[in-house]
Structure 1
Amino acid sequence: MAFLQFSDKSVPYGVFVKDVAAEVVHLLKKDESDPEYISQRKAYEIFGRRNVERWRRQGKVKPCKRPGRLEYRTSELRLLQRTEQDYLDPTK
């Protein structure tokens, strides 16, 4: 039986894979009702204006320009929302 060694404990590989799969299913169900694109205003409401502006400035997200509006891909914003970020490192 294969084990994964973490700094605080060992976990059987099968248990780890099942936990990861359960988390993926949970996130997919949570995000299934999200539209593919959202307006800049809605992005600011959901994710915070400063977060969206910082991600855009850092090149982590690029808006899609439509006539008279900017839209963002919701899945990209969700990924950034779930990613731990180092706010003190200007290169990230």
Structure 2
Amino acid sequence: MRYPITGICTLIGLALCLFNATGYDPHNLFLMMFSVPMWFVEVFTDLHRVSVWFMYALTVLSYVLIGYLGDLGVARTRSRRRSS
């Protein structure tokens, strides 16, 4: 099984973190909008208490997981079509 969606989502997650790390997102607007782990951290604790690098790692890992689940869904759909 190939993982094209996982690769694309990983690149999106890395680009999001790099965009924030370079300073082009000074108020963390894009990172807050598109990082799923930051949504949960914001609910349970103050964002300023959590390491930025840890949030970058969680963001990339969440995008990898989302892509992998997408690839799994595509593979299951294709196998169902082949069997019927």
Is TM-score (shorter-chain normalized) higher than 0.5? Answer: no
Work out which of the two has the higher radius of gyration on C-alpha atoms and give 1 or 2. Answer: 1
- Give the structure-1-normalised TM-score: 0.32
Structure scoring higher RCO (CA < 8 A, sep ≥ 6) equals 2
Greater share of residues in strand: 1
